[in-house]
Amino acid sequence: MRILVLGGDGYLGWPTALHLSDRGHEVAVADNYARRGYDHELGVDSLVPIEPMQVRLDAWREVSGKSIKSYYGDLVDGEFTEAMIADFRPDAVVHFAEQRAAPYSMIDRRHAVYTQQNNVIGNLNVLFAIQQVDPDIHLVKLGTMGEYGTPNIDIEEGWLEVTHNGRTDRMLYPKKPGSFYHLSKVHDSHNIEFACRVWGLRATDLNQGVVYGQETPQTARDARLATRFDYDAIFGTVLNRFVIQAVLGHPLTVYGTGGQTRGLIDIRDTVECIRLAAENPADRGEFRVFNQMTEKYSVGEIAKIVANGYEGPVEIEYLDNPRVEQGEHHYNVRHTGLVELGLEPHLLSNTLIESLFRVADKHKERVDVAAMRPTVNWRHAANPLRADR
């Protein structure tokens, strides 16, 4: 297949492109390198050094003998987006190219507006480009489990059958997102469903849980192929932060009581989910939704897994929660679609032992300790951006 990976310079986009190329697909990547710009803005770098895109592409060609085409541009530019898709003529478009951090979207008005403009308009331009160039192109879009929030009923895979006043209908599962970022993903999902229903497009919306891990079989083949490892309070995941804190001998900082429960997935499973979705496309006119997660844990449980998995002593510190979220809640998610396509999940405990502590220890001299403390408060209209600096 010909597969275009939007956001191909990012934490997940880059290893996904390598995985697809390694499996024999003809791959192109596109990016405007905004994620590297966020590092500059926040004054924080990836724990693991990452190379410029051209160095990455050259390294992959050297180790695999395969080439990946690269486009530079912004999806908010509709003309660029359509011209790129017309030039590459993909069978599938994998869309990672969005601002992905909830805390970033909650810093202040400017960051909230940027997040929604960048994400929603960029996604709309992709939809229009597919409709104009070739409506048969399959869109594989990265959503988030955060679209659902934490409802007091079981979470289905995207759709819900509802009976009301004696009548039954199938509708998109109600959404209760927890940030302006998550809201942008909800808007994306509704826009994609509309395009499938009205234009007959085909799309798979992957509502992804929290991704952990830094290595895939492809990125491990050469240091120049490494992907990001974010640990800061803006872009880092809670698991990455806990791993770094354990390695440094610092207390693991749990927000609130730690009862908040989330779906998780190994980065190796993420790239495989993309392959499975791309190779088994949705039907024309179908808006297909998979909940892309393999396990669920509360934040407190994650802290205990990290503490028990690390060889040294580990303490846990409970902080006032800067987010507005339930401290304890029901969380039962259906996530069978990708397993039925052939996904064989990795488990969290194994990944910690094999990879995360080793990676963190190797690069611990690069850690900015202050970056791990929360500076963005959901309850404030404007927040100081890294006020400690």
The residues annotated with a catalytic role in the active site are 144, 181, 185
**Amino acid code (one letter) for 74:** D
CA gap 195, 197 in Å, rounded:
5
CA atoms within 13 A on the CB side of 224: 12
Strand order across the 202-208 sheet: 69-72, 26-31, 2-6, 92-95, 138-144, 202-208, 287-292
**Amino acid code (one letter) for 113:** V
182 and 106 in contact (C-beta within 8 Å)? no
Tell me which residue of 76, 77, 14 sits closest to 51, measured CA to CA: 14
CA gap 36, 217 in Å, rounded:
24
User: What are 72's two structure tokens?
Assistant: 């530079």
CA gap 6, 1 in Å, rounded:
16
Q: Where are the alpha helices (DSSP H) in the chain?
A: 13-22, 34-42, 53-64, 78-88, 102-105, 109-116, 122-133, 180-199, 238-248, 267-279, 299-309, 337-341, 348-351, 357-362
**Which single residue is written with the structure tokens 């951090």?**
101
Tell me which residue of 333, 329, 317, 372 sits closest to 208, measured CA to CA: 333
Tell me which residue of 128, 76, 144, 142 sits closest to 278, measured CA to CA: 142
Other residues' Cβ atoms within 10 Å of the Cβ of residue 113: 12
